[in-house]
Chain A
Amino acid sequence: MLNYRKKFIIVISLLFSMLILFACSEEESTTESSTSGSNTLATIIDRGELVCGVNDNLTGFGVINSAGEFEGFDIDYCKAVAAAILGDSSKVEYVPLTASARFEALAAEEIDILIRNTTWTASRDRDLGNDFTAPTFYDGQGMMVKASSGYDSIESMAGATVCVLQGTTTELNLDDRFTGSGIAYTPLTFETNDPLQAAYEEGRCDGWTTDKSGLASKRAGFSNPSDHVVLAETLSKEPLGPLTRDNDSELYDVVQWVVFGMMQAEESGISSSNVSSMAANPTDPGMARLLGVGFDGGEPTDFGFGIPVDFMQNVISQVGNYGEVYDKHLVPLGLTREGSLNAQWTEGGLIYAPPFR
């Protein structure tokens, strides 16, 4: 009898839970759809903090300095976005991510934006459900070898072992270049940089391939940088930039135009040192629109980003323009701008902002 009652209770409770499940399924699905098209910008403003996925181990782009703070080119873009949205570049929570974990973290809404020297590719844009805003740095994949090895080209590396980071486009470009040209090689794929660097230094692999900026950064960190050379050949195009989730247009637009705004500020000659005087007294209507102030007593132009109209003033005064950020973090690594793709378009580079109009 007791057994019967137990069974009865179990069946009843299961039935009830099924009933409630079906009754609520409609309500559930409506909440589903509202979260999938979420507005991360509103979330950031409510939270009062930007959660930014970054690198913590790449000097110049994203690294923890001796004071325990994040610094670098990508970190400054996190700060710029925080300055634009929240008016304070320090309101950022940095989440260090490995190359292979970064897209999962973005998709799972652990972070608001990902600024982690990430290459813009078609499959990442579409398949992985990301939206790339705009390239902040035009990179290309390179190959670092020991100077004593005598390698001068990829062709001369037949039979070599190459260390590469897992889950990167680098791994695929490497294979395209070697297998595509019929050059035998062995890839040695690491998940993080530290064991990879140890393996390279100990001669476990003949070459180390990643973005040239990354190689310059790592080479600068060696005790004797001149023992290592980065081969002249560029294996691939690597446009790096911030990205947001798909269907997150409000935040996407803000990040994109902060990037463009910093480029435009450099082109217009606005820097962190003169932004306040320029804002008080803009020299032309274009500058006034960029800084969100009225020209000649007129009303400031509101582009409708959902953040203060003078957001670029905060960005430039607290972080700086594109050239300032570049000079601060990347020039010390030996990545000169002159003649590279990262020069302003007026000087033959690709740094080009659409008009603020």
Chain B
Amino acid sequence: MLSHLYNQIKSQSSISEKLEVLRNDKSFRKFFVQFIFAIFMAFFLFYLITRAFSLELGFGHLTSRAGFGISHTFLVDYTSNNSRWDAYFTGVINTIRVSLVGIILATILGVLMGLARLSKNFLVNRIAAGYVEFIRNTPLLVQIIFWQLVLLQLPQISNALTFGGISVWSNRGILLPFINTIQNGSLWVLVLLIGLVISLVIRSYSSKYKEENVNFISPNILSLITFLIIALAGYFILGIDLYTDVPVLEVNQYGTYIQSGGFALTPEFAAILFALVLYTGTFITEIVRGSIQSLPKGQTEAAQALGLSNYQRITLIILPQALRSIIPPLTNQYLNLTKNSSLSVAIAYPDVFMVSRTIMNNAGHALPMLSLILITFLCLSLVISLFMNLLNKRVTRIGA
């Protein structure tokens, strides 16, 4: 206690004795070390902040005309006449696109491979083990460039495969037939997504209600009807006109081959996607395997004793329990995948990082741009964490 220490110091007559008291006091020694450390940290932070303010801050330059093209635009119509903000937003959309598709595919791959690793079938088991051991932690950048070079081996556009006019396969991209709309397509997709969320919420509430009122309409049917009503309302209000978008390969008057239409999988998008999915999939495989193996063997035996089929045993008994220990490390993998998508800068996929670097090169202001990138990735991470925490809360509920 400080007053105690003060009295002790006061009771000593000479300076050297007073110092001796201080030196022997344990709490003062601790305080002194922390104090020195705090001073160093304060200086360091102060230095960094003054350096930062000596550079120009602000986002004013982002309203200027961008002046550069972006090869992959998805959901947004971007041209070089748009502002740099629009270019940045296009990059954000591209990052979200590759991360979202990557997360979904990596989860499917990881769960299947995780189950396969536990399979008693020798071949299935070995394939899954080989996949994990070969691909796990080979540098991701190398994998991305590898996939890009592999996909460039597809036929050149002048020799593209067309499969009788329904699809175009070349190293400019794989175009698949696709159902498209003439107008308001992306708005309708948004409406469908909102409808999906609403119907899931209704399903969750109505199933609780049904527990008490047995005669109530089935929650599944209720949510399906809700979804259909929202989808159809959107269809008519937005004037959606669906048609089959068949990809075409044509030659213009100058002899340039142009492929267009359909759902396009470009080599750049496919390379970053394959690499992210295969890389993250190995870690998810091991998470799934470990979580299942950590369950008591009695669970499997009990399921078998009850006469459940293998499929029922996995989907009703094993996976729901394993999910409790799967989800926290799985969240880390999702965050990693999102972060790793910025490596696409190496292979011409215009994600948020790549677009920002172009802007930084054209206009300077590196520090605000880097902060903006950090904030963007932070937001993506927080959204992923939020969803995963909600899911985690749900699966950890006893008796859920």
Which of A84-92, A172-180, A213-221, A273-281 lies at the interface with chain B? A172-180
CA distance in complex: A129, B363 (Å): 11
Known A-B contacts A128-B364, A166-B354, A203-B157; the reply to A172 vs B46 at CB < 8 A is no
Is A66 part of the contact surface with B, judged by Cβ < 8 Å? no
Chain B residues within 8 Å of A175, by CB = 67-69, 80
Is A247 part of the contact surface with B, judged by Cβ < 8 Å? no
**Which residues of chain B (105-125) have a CB below 8 Å from chain A?**
none
Q: Which of A1, A17, A179, A187 contacts B38 (CB 8 A)?
A: A17
Chain A residues within 8 Å of B67, by CB = 172, 175-176
Interface residues on B, range: 35 or more
CB pair A166 B357 closer than 8 Å = yes
CA distance in complex: A127, B43 (Å): 30
| Binary flags per residue of A62-84, CB closer than 8 Å to B gives 1, else 0 | 00000000000000000000000
Is B2 part of the contact surface with A, judged by Cβ < 8 Å? yes
Chain A residues within 8 Å of B346, by CB = 191-192, 195
Known A-B contacts A5-B2, A187-B68; the reply to A29 vs B50 at CB < 8 A is yes
CA distance in complex: A198, B354 (Å): 19
- In the complex, how many angstroms separate the beta carbon of A124 from the nearest chain B beta carbon? 9
Known A-B contacts A167-B357, A172-B68; the reply to A13 vs B34 at CB < 8 A is yes
CA distance in complex: A172, B361 (Å): 11
CB pair A161 B358 closer than 8 Å = no
Is B382 part of the contact surface with A, judged by Cβ < 8 Å? no
Q: Which residue of B lies closest to A175 (CB)?
A: B80
CA distance in complex: A204, B153 (Å): 10
**Which residues of chain A (11-35) have a CB below 8 Å from chain B?**
12-14, 16-18, 20-21, 24-25, 28-29, 32
CA distance in complex: A288, B395 (Å): 87
Q: Which residue of A lies closest to B260 (CB)?
A: A159
Known A-B contacts A21-B46, A175-B67; the reply to A127 vs B256 at CB < 8 A is no
Dominant SS among interface residues on chain B: helix
Chain A residues within 8 Å of B8, by CB = none
- In the complex, how many angstroms separate the beta carbon of B69 from the nearest chain A beta carbon? 4
| Binary flags per residue of B132-159, CB closer than 8 Å to A gives 1, else 0 | 0000000000000100110011001110
Dominant SS among interface residues on chain A: helix
Chain A residues within 8 Å of B267, by CB = 204
Known A-B contacts A20-B39, A103-B361, A103-B364; the reply to A204 vs B171 at CB < 8 A is yes
Is A302 part of the contact surface with B, judged by Cβ < 8 Å? no
Is B27 part of the contact surface with A, judged by Cβ < 8 Å? yes
CB pair B42 A199 closer than 8 Å = no
Known A-B contacts A9-B31, A156-B254, A204-B172; the reply to A16 vs B348 at CB < 8 A is no
CB pair A202 B39 closer than 8 Å = no
CB pair A195 B1 closer than 8 Å = no
CB pair A204 B152 closer than 8 Å = yes
Q: Which residue of B lies closest to A22 (CB)?
A: B46
CA distance in complex: A149, B254 (Å): 10
- In the complex, how many angstroms separate the beta carbon of B142 from the nearest chain A beta carbon? 12
Is B281 part of the contact surface with A, judged by Cβ < 8 Å? no
CB pair B148 A8 closer than 8 Å = no
Known A-B contacts A123-B363, A199-B152, A203-B156; the reply to A188 vs B2 at CB < 8 A is no
CB pair B364 A167 closer than 8 Å = no
CB pair B255 A150 closer than 8 Å = yes
- In the complex, how many angstroms separate the beta carbon of B355 from the nearest chain A beta carbon? 9
Chain A residues within 8 Å of B387, by CB = none
Is B209 part of the contact surface with A, judged by Cβ < 8 Å? no
Q: Which of A14, A99, A128, A203 contacts B171 (CB 8 A)?
A: A203
**Which residues of chain B (29-49) have a CB below 8 Å from chain A?**
30-31, 34-35, 38-39, 41-43, 46-47
B-side interface residues toward A, CB under 8 Å? 1-2, 27, 30-31, 34-35, 38-39, 41-43, 46-47, 50, 54, 67-71, 79-81, 145, 148-149, 152-153, 156-158, 171-172, 252, 254-256, 258, 267-268, 345-348, 350, 354, 357-358, 360-366
- Other A-B pairs, 20, CB within 8 Å; known A20-B42, A166-B358: A13-B34, A13-B38, A32-B50, A100-B360, A103-B364, A104-B366, A107-B366, A156-B255, A159-B252, A166-B354, A167-B361, A179-B79, A185-B69, A188-B268, A191-B354, A195-B346, A198-B148, A202-B152, A202-B171, A206-B256
Q: List 17 A-B contacts (CB under 8 A).
A: A17-B39, A20-B42, A21-B42, A100-B361, A128-B364, A156-B255, A158-B254, A174-B69, A175-B67, A175-B80, A189-B350, A189-B358, A190-B347, A191-B354, A196-B348, A202-B171, A203-B171
